[in-house]
Amino acid sequence: MKHKRRSLQKSARAPFPKETLEALEQLGLVLRTIHLEMKRAGYAVIDGKPVKLTDKNEESKKDSGASASRN
């Protein structure tokens, strides 16, 4: 019974300080802006690398996305 009580006490606390969560939110906004600008310019991140999209790249990206959703 002691073990359950300890886990309940831990879950009652926030996992990160408020400042950390705010910083992560700001980082997310910056990364989203970068992502949207890259997309508008015709780039995507494929296998961790920025790639200028062409019709061939877009088709392979769609194919890999479709196969990933099937798994």
pLDDT, tens digit, for every residue of 48-57? 999 999 876 5
**Do residues 44 and 38 make contact, with C-beta atoms less than 8 angstroms apart?**
yes
For β-strands 49-52 and 43-46, DSSP reports them as antiparallel
CB of 46 within 8 A of CB of 61? yes
The structure tokens listed for 1 are: 């019974």
Residues comprising the chain, all counted: 71
Q: Return mean pLDDT, the chain.
A: 79
Does this model's pTM top 0.75? My answer is: no
Sorted by where each begins, the domain ranges of the chain are 17-70
- Give pLDDT < 70 ranges for the chain: 1-12, 56-71
